[in-house]
Amino acid sequence: MNMRSNIMGRILYSDTPLDELRRSCNDNPVSGSMLQTNVLRRTKGGMINCGDYSIALLAFVVLLLLCSCSKSEQDEPLALSSDLNVLWIGTSIPEGCSYPDYSCRSIGANCINKSIGASFLCVYDIGEKGIEYAGLSLTETIREKEKKYGKFVKENLLSTGRMKRFIDSSYETAVLPYAQWADVIVIDHGYNDDISLYKLYGAKNSIDDTDEQWQSMDRSNYIGAFNYLVAEIRKVNPEVQIVVGGYFQNTCTLGHAVRGKYVQHVTEDLCRHYKLPILDVWNYVDIPDGYKPHSENYLDSINGIYKTDYTKWLPNERGEIPYFQIFCPDKVHPFSDPTGTSDKILNAVVSELFKKRLLEAGVKPSHNGEDF
């Protein structure tokens, strides 16, 4: 049986029969094998080459569905209980992408997505983030925000609407009211905490398990802020399963895209140290570093067809754009891809990872049948 999917356009997952994949898995465990996917989109204006994306589809099919199971597990498939309540918190990427809702619906779970654009985990000084953004900290309390930023509203330096946004981004507003009913909480942060992550991982790739930072509640530090948030969540729901969401790439070295490797480092450290399920998305979405050959007219093409106005980001001397901008035309968000390809790729990868990690953790409903 050939395994094909139209989920990302005309993408060939594999021409290898399923039983052959199983044999291959048993003989040679997959460790990041990649299948090239050349996504071609037909539109009213013709055909657009969306770029050569290398997605770990072989690993996706084999590792997630077959290789991860022992022989006994294959004989007795695990069942994931439906009717789970999932709270998803994060940045503008999970706020705007469809993968949180898609991943929950794929397992019959109830999802509430309280991700907030431009938000971050740590507490920063106004000088570090600026008056319009510093109040978007998830771990800052409502009282702290009112005391810190209320004076700027009185001085007309901050609008009341922006102040409300600050209040809404506090964990006391965005997390705790829903946490008591949640079976799973996905913390999908890191990208906007580049200030803290650069300090943590500027000279190393990992924080040793004996480091005193693991005992910290210092919210100016990403690990301390994570510890603080989880402690507050556990006060209202000690049994909830925490899952750590991961960024979609760790290979890009151009501009702000370099943040990906730092998010990978802290995500791996948190999940190793606390033995938490990890959504290591970067391992299954391979966005090459560097520039897409012959991409000098790509943005003009999609702008003409989709009526967008994207501009080139860090083009090379030939006018070609980075692979990263093929995936994120607005230079940050996968959902900005007007072809829908990037969003669908993340839907496929994250949903399979989410299901697999919950199965491994043995998650079961604990909310007594009550939904959010």
DSSP E strands: which ranges in 140-246? Answer: 184-188, 241-245
* Structure tokens belonging to residue 79: 């069942």
Identify the three-state secondary structure at position 265: helix
Confidence band, pLDDT 50/70/90 cuts, at residue 366: confident
Length of the chain: 372
Q: What is the pTM of this model?
A: 0.82
pLDDT per position as a tens digit, 322-352: 999 999 999 999 999 999 999 999 999 999 9
CA distance 241 to 85: 11
Q: Give 367's pLDDT tier (boundaries 50, 70, 90).
A: low
Q: Write out pLDDT tens, residues 275-314.
A: 999 999 999 998 999 999 999 999 999 999 999 999 999 9
Residues 161 and 289: their CA atoms lie apart, in Å, by 39
Q: How far apart are CA 262 and CA 250, in angstroms?
A: 8
pLDDT classification of 30: cutoffs 50, 70, 90: very low
CA neighbor of 343 nearest in space, from 301, 285, 297, 300: 285
The alpha carbon of 247 is separated from its chain's Cα centroid by a whole number of angstroms, namely 4
Q: Is the dihedral of CA 229, 80, 97, 197 positive or negative?
A: positive
Nearest Cα to 266, choosing from 218, 354, 194?
Answer: 194
Q: How many CB atoms lie within 10 A of CB 202?
A: 8
What domains appear along the chain, each with residue ranges and CATH number?
1-77 (no CATH), 82-288+353-361 (3.40.50)
Per the structure block, which two tokens stand in for 155? Answer: 């001085």
